[in-house]
Structure 1
């Protein structure tokens, strides 16, 4: 395990109750980042497990977007796996923070703090959807001494290494001037800022041409709920960072066993982003789902579960809870 000096610490740990998972209850530590932000965490499985999977959720989502995958892994691998999921700063049950800290590089630092505070060692797979995948890439872009654990596995779902203003929905906010204007609008007219952000997102999702009407309606409803339950300061605060985000220089140095999953109907991070990732990350596998959109955690759970399984170093059925079942 590589070491680095940080002030990350672990707040009081309590057992979780009421998580929507048909598996043993996780513990719910709160990790305090080096700049004092409390992050809400769900930690399943023993620290002695043979492999740890860390889930990183997308923009305006929470750890709950991974519920199906957490359930699958815990039921299939039992005590042989440790599964960690947490809410990014400003999201879900985690504390808010100053808007100038809503940056992808800060999320990568938060990830390092979580790994240190929870004493994560041994084989690790990072699984990131959308902004979560960007967080994983930014973490891998840090010097090795600043990576508490170098991942053995990496699963990138509907994400990108950069060029967000050039492809897909990012073109609607393709100038620094536009994102800065929304940023300033938050304090004076938060509802107007929300409408300016949510309107184009929902309209674009509603126009997805390669998905059925029922699927489209479900995805729009999911996106609307995510935007409505995320603080406006968070939703708008990350926009300048997304506009500037660029980790292309990191891709060629990634040594983790990498699986990339993309959807052909994804209007937020179109498949061109995944093609770039697959071409630049040594040995990467690209799994493309032609008729799926951006919410692959909802649309393609079994495929993502299989992608995660490709990166694990533990055998199927290991552990005392595995006999409960292995459905996807």
Structure 2
């Protein structure tokens, strides 16, 4: 083992030990028991909603895992079948398509109007999609990927785009690259717990570092650790108690059922650290506020929890102020995973948005 590798390995070990020690000081084990003990009666069955997979190949050859919940094409008064409205859900950083569980259930279930076609896909290097080539793990590339998905599984008919966190950034990237789509194929958009720039990336992975810790220093550390990502993944698995407690603090505002926290923690843990490191620099570089005005062409809603610790409510307020005619739903006390924590409010807002598009069934 080289000296550099030993130094990095020692640094990771020291960090893990330090975090575990700090965790013990604040009662990590006790808090984990409290989280796990908060059981819900509904047993959501996270990860159980499936449809036949479709592989969409991105413009650089990366295979994207896509699932489509189909509905019959609506019939107009003249007896002609028209393409149904398609709602495309785009997930966030270190998550996967299953994070939309409650939204998928809603549009499948009895509360759905029954004529909304839904599309879910795993972003490149996430979930069941293929790994991105080096250098292509960028927000701009995610915008190109979204267009590839639209062209493959929603080539005709009206489309509403719904993005959470990095998924919202993906939609903004598409708007910058192809503004002509908005008001034509794209008839509505929802930006949830997201931003178009101004992020402090150090908060995404190291929210508990002292205030003097700079984003630049964190970025250099991430780059170094990426070279020993297998070691880091090992420590992440070993420190599962700390990870679960950190997930609750970062992802949620209120005391949600333990199954919610465990579900998000599983998705985060399943994302290799090498993937985390590849996308990380893009958050510091993100600056697309000049592009969001395109969304004023279509009904747009912005949603965020007031206790979001990753993309704070100020980001959503700024987005709403820059998108003419848009609305802002602030979910009081909710955290970054508002799509789980306040799914009823989010689903209601999506129903309202779809109604505003006037394209619910092509009628």
Give the shorter-chain TM-score range.
0.7 to 0.9
1:55 aligns with 2:97: no
Q: Aligned equivalents of 1:201 and 1:149: distance in 2? A: 44
For the 8 Å contact 2:251–2:337, the answer to whether it is kept is: no
TM-score (norm 2): 0.71
For the 8 Å contact 1:263–1:288, the answer to whether it is kept is: yes
Residue-by-residue CA offset, 1:154-208 (whole Å, 9 max, x unaligned): 1111111111118954785853453243124222353337869x99987765557
Alignment match, 2:199: 164
Unaligned runs of 5+ residues in structure 2 are 1-45, 74-81, 208-212
Is the deviation greater in 67-76 or in 29-38? 67-76
Alignment of 1:243-258 (within 5 A): 243-254=284-295, 255-258=297-300
Tell me the SS of whatever aligns to 2:256.
Answer: helix
**Residue in structure 2 matching 1:283, options 325, 337, 350:** 325
1:41 aligns with 2:53: no
1:308 aligns with 2:345: no
Q: Aligned equivalents of 1:316 and 1:282: distance in 2? A: 20
- 1:179–1:58: structure 2 CA closer, same or farther, 3 Å change rule? same
Alignment match, 1:5: none
- 1:129–1:174: structure 2 CA closer, same or farther, 3 Å change rule? farther
1:296 aligns with 2:333: no
Alignment match, 2:225: 185
Residue-by-residue CA offset, 1:269-297 (whole Å, 9 max, x unaligned): 11000110111101111000111111111
For the 8 Å contact 2:334–2:341, the answer to whether it is kept is: yes
For the 8 Å contact 1:41–1:85, the answer to whether it is kept is: yes
Unaligned runs of 5+ residues in structure 1 are 1-17, 319-328
TM-score (norm 1): 0.78
For the 8 Å contact 2:202–2:214, the answer to whether it is kept is: no
Shift of 1:83: 0.5
Alignment of 1:45-194 (within 5 A): 45-46=70-71, 48-75=82-109, 76-78=112-114, 80-144=115-179, 150-165=185-200, 169=204, 174-192=214-232
Alignment match, 1:230: 271
- 1:148–1:184: structure 2 CA closer, same or farther, 3 Å change rule? farther
For the 8 Å contact 1:257–1:283, the answer to whether it is kept is: yes
Alignment of 1:12-31 (within 5 A): 20-21=48-49, 26-31=51-56
Query: Looking at CA atoms only, which structure, 1 or 2, has the larger radius of gyration?
Result: 2
Tell me the SS of whatever aligns to 1:29.
Answer: strand
Question: Aligned Cα RMSD in Å?
Answer: 3.4
Residue-by-residue CA offset, 1:213-249 (whole Å, 9 max, x unaligned): x439666544432221112111121100111111100
For the 8 Å contact 2:179–2:294, the answer to whether it is kept is: no
Tell me the SS of whatever aligns to 2:191.
Answer: strand
For the 8 Å contact 2:64–2:121, the answer to whether it is kept is: yes
Q: Aligned equivalents of 1:299 and 1:310: distance in 2? A: 19
In the comparison of the two structures, how many residue pairs are matched? 296
For the 8 Å contact 1:77–1:316, the answer to whether it is kept is: no
